[in-house]
C-alpha cells in the first residue's frame, strides 16, 4: 500500500469473510438433501422416490388441501404460518411440509428430533437469519417428531419463531396438546392429518407401479395382492410402498402375488405406543365396550391391545377397576373374577394369559351394571368440599384410656349385636349437621336389587325410630 512516506510494508489486516448460507438445489430444497446425497436419490427406497413433488400429486387430506381449504389457500399464496402437523405415520406430513416450502419459495431445512439437538437448531436458525438479512429469503424449519424434543429444546426455537427468523413446521404422531409447549402452540396452527383411505393407498400403489421414479412398469401386481396390500397398509403409504418394493425385489420375474405380499409384510403392524395417544384411545374403546355390555367389541379391543404388545398386567388392572366402578354391586362376583384374572396373568404370563383376561372381559361385559358406588363418591366429594368438617360425634369415638372415657368418648354407643336382628334403628352415625343425608342410592339391577330391598327396610326402621324420638325434621335432600 502506497503512503506519503513510501511503501507501507505492514501486512494488511485480515478480515473474516462473511459466511454465505448454503444455497440448496431444487432437488435438495424438496428433500432436504445436500448435493452429494441428492445424487444417490435413485437408490433410495421406493417410498422416498415416490414422494409427491407438487400439491397436484399429493394424495389424501382433502379436508386440509382440498380446493378452498384454509391450508390450501395459504400454501397457494406462499404465506405460511408456523404449523404443527399431527397425524399417524405415513400420512404425508413431511411431504406436505416440503411442498409448502417449495410453493413459498422458501429454503426447506429438515431436522429429526431423534438425532438433533439445540446446537443443530441454533446453527440452522443463525443461517436462516443471515439468509433473510442478505436476500430476504425465508427458511422453513421442519422438525420431524417434534414431540421428542424436551421443553428446553422447544424453548430454543421459540424466539426465532416469534421474530420470524424461521417458519416452524413440526410433525408429530402424538397429541400436541401434551407434547408441544404451550408457548409454541399459541404461535402455531395445528392441522390434523387423517389416516389414508384404502382408495388413497390404492392410487399411490398404482402410481408407483407405472411412474419412472418408481417401478417404471417393470412389476406386475395381482389384483388380490393389491387388495391385500391396501388393507394391511392401515392407512400408511410408507408401509404399502415398502412392502411392495420388498415383494418386487424378491420376485424373480417381476410378478408380485398375494403370497409374495404376505411374505414381505410377515405381520401387520398396528399403530400403537404404550405412552402415546393410541394407547389411551384403545384402552378407552375397551373400557367403553365393556361398560356398554358388548362382549364382541370388548374382545376386539382386548386383542388389539395384546397384539400391539400392551402390558397384560395393565389390562388386568383396568379390568379390576371396571369391575368395581362400572359393574359394582350389580354383580359383586365381578370384582372377585377380575382380581382372580389379574393374579392368573401375573402367575402364567402371556400368551396363555389371554384366556383369563378374555374370560374376565366377557363376564364384565355381560354382568348387570351399577355405578351407585361412583355416584356416592361424587356426592361425598361434594359434601366434603362444601360442608363443615364437624368433629366425630362423641358416642362414635374410640375410648382406649380412662381419660378418654371421662371425656365421654364412646358414651351412649349402642352395640348393634345387642339389638334384635343385630340392628339398632335408634343409633346414628353421621354428624348432626348431616343427619339423614343419603349417599348410597342402589339400582334395581342384578344382585343390587336385593340390597336395595334390605336398605329400604333399614331406612324405614330408622325413620320410625326418629319419629318416636320426636325428630320430625325428616331427611335432608341428597346432595346434587
pLDDT of residue 276: 62
| Model confidence pLDDT, tens digit, residues 192-228 | 999 999 999 999 999 999 999 999 999 999 999 999 9
All structural domains of the chain, each given as residue ranges with its CATH number in brackets, are: 53-192 (3.40.50.300), 198-265 (1.10.8.60), 277-366 (1.20.272.10), 390-469 (1.10.3710)
Mean pLDDT of 319-338: 94
Mean pLDDT of 264-280: 64
Residue 32 has pLDDT above 60, yes or no: no
Q: Give the chain's mean pLDDT.
A: 85
Phi, psi of 361 (to 5 degrees): -60, -50
pLDDT of residue 232: 86
Please choose, from the candidates 111, 203, 97, 93, the residue with its C-alpha nearest in 3D space to the C-alpha of residue 156.
111
**Residues paired with 171 in a beta bridge:** 85, 144
Mean pLDDT of 314-327: 94
pLDDT of residue 16: 41
Residue 402 has pLDDT above 70, yes or no: yes
pLDDT of residue 433: 85
Total residues found in the chain within this entry: 480
| Model confidence pLDDT, tens digit, residues 37-80 | 343 355 789 999 999 999 999 999 999 999 999 999 999 998 99
| Model confidence pLDDT, tens digit, residues 78-132 | 899 999 999 988 899 999 999 999 999 999 999 998 888 888 999 999 999 999 9
Q: Kindly state the percentage of the chain with pLDDT values over 90.
A: 50
Res. 460 pLDDT band, cuts 50 70 90:
confident
pLDDT of residue 470: 66
Residue 471 has pLDDT above 80, yes or no: no
**Regarding beta strands 83-86 and 167-172, do their DSSP bridges make them parallel or antiparallel, or are they unpaired?**
parallel
Question: Which of 18-27, 64-73, 118-127, 264-273 is least confident?
Answer: 18-27
Q: Residue 294: helix, strand or coil by DSSP? A: coil
pLDDT of residue 366: 95
Residue 429 has pLDDT above 50, yes or no: yes
pLDDT of residue 377: 92
Q: How far apart are CA 294 and CA 301, in angstroms?
A: 11
Mean pLDDT of 264-274: 61
Q: All 3 cell numbers of residue 436?
A: 339423614
Q: How far apart are CA 92 and CA 244, in angstroms?
A: 18
Q: What are the DSSP E strand ranges found in 161-239?
A: 167-172, 189-192, 220-221
Res. 22 pLDDT band, cuts 50 70 90:
very low
Q: What is the pTM of this model?
A: 0.61
Residue 269 has pLDDT above 60, yes or no: no
pLDDT of residue 27: 35
Please choose, from the candidates 316, 314, 85, 67, the residue with its C-alpha nearest in 3D space to the C-alpha of residue 179.
85
For 14-83, give the DSSP string: PPPPPPPPP---HHHHHH---HHHHHTGGGS-HHHHT--SSGGG--S-HHHHSTT-HHHHHHHHT-PPPE
Q: How far is CA 381 from CA 322, 375, 457, in A?
A: 20, 10, 27
Residue 469 has pLDDT above 80, yes or no: no
Q: All 3 cell numbers of residue 83?
A: 404449523
Amino acid at each position: 500500500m502506497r503512503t506519503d512516506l513510501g511503501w507501507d510494508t505492514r501486512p494488511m489486516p485480515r478480515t473474516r469473510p462473511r459466511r454465505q448460507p448454503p444455497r440448496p438445489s431444487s432437488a435438495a430444497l424438496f428433500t432436504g438433501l445436500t448435493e452429494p446425497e441428492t445424487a444417490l436419490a435413485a437408490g433410495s427406497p421406493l417410498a422416498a422416490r415416490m414422494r409427491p413433488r407438487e400439491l397436484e400429486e399429493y394424495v389424501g387430506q382433502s379436508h386440509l388441501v382440498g380446493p378452498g381449504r384454509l391450508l390450501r389457500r395459504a400454501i397457494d399464496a406462499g404465506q405460511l404460518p408456523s404449523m404443527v402437523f399431527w397425524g399417524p405415520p405415513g400420512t404425508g406430513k413431511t411431504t406436505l411440509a416440503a411442498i409448502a416450502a417449495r410453493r413459498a419459495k422458501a429454503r426447506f431445512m429438515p431436522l429429526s428430533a431423534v438425532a438433533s439437538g439445540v446446537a443443530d437448531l441454533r446453527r440452522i436458525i443463525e443461517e436462516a437469519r443471515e439468509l433473510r438479512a442478505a436476500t430476504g429469503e425465508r427458511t422453513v424449519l421442519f422438525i420431524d417428531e417434534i414431540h421428542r424434543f424436551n421443553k428446553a429444546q422447544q424453548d430454543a426455537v421459540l424466539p426465532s419463531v416469534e421474530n420470524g427468523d424461521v417458519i416452524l413446521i413440526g410433525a408429530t404422531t402424538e397429541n400436541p396438546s401434551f407434547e408441544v409447549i404451550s408457548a409454541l402452540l399459541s404461535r402455531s396452527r395445528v392441522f390434523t392429518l387423517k389416516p389414508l383411505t384404502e382408495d388413497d393407498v390404492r392410487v399411490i400403489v398404482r402410481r408407483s407401479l407405472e411412474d419412472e421414479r418408481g417401478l417404471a412398469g417393470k412389476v406386475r401386481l395381482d389384483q388380490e395382492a393389491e387388495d391385500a396390500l391396501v388393507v394391511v397398509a392401515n392407512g400408511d403409504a410408507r408401509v404399502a410402498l415398502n412392502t411392495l418394493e420388498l415383494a418386487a425385489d424378491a420376485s424373480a420375474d417381476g410378478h408380485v402375488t398375494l403370497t409374495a405380499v404376505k411374505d414381505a409384510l410377515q405381520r401387520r403392524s398396528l399403530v400403537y405406543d404404550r405412552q402415546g395417544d393410541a394407547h389411551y384411545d384403545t384402552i378407552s374403546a375397551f373400557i367403553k365396550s365393556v361398560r356398554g355390555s358388548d362382549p364382541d367389541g370388548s374382545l376386539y379391543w382386548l386383542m388389539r391391545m395384546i397384539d400391539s404388545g400392551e402390558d397384560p398386567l395393565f389390562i388386568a388392572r383396568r379390568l379390576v377397576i371396571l369391575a368395581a366402578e362400572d359393574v359394582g354391586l350389580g354383580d359383586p362376583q365381578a370384582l372377585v373374577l377380575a382380581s382372580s384374572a389379574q393374579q392368573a396373568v401375573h402367575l402364567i404370563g402371556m400368551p396363555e394369559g389371554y384366556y383369563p383376561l378374555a374370560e374376565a372381559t366377557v363376564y364384565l361385559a355381560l354382568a348387570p351394571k351399577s355405578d351407585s358406588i361412583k355416584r356416592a363418591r361424587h356426592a361425598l366429594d361434594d359434601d366434603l368440599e362444601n360442608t363443615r368438617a364437624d368433629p366425630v360425634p362423641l358416642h362414635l369415638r374410640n375410648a382406649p384410656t380412662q381419660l378418654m372415657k371421662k371425656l365421654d368418648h364412646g358414651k351412649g354407643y349402642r352395640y348393634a349385636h345387642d339389638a334384635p336382628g343385630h340392628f339398632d334403628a335408634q343409633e346414628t352415625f353421621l354428624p348432626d349437621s348431616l343427619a339423614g343425608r343419603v349417599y348410597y342410592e342402589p339400582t334395581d339391577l342384578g344382585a343390587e336389587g336385593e340390597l336395595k330391598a334390605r336398605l329400604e327396610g333399614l331406612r324405614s326402621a330408622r325413620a320410625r325410630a326418629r319419629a318416636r324420638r320426636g325428630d320430625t325434621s325428616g331427611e335432608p335432600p341428597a346432595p346434587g
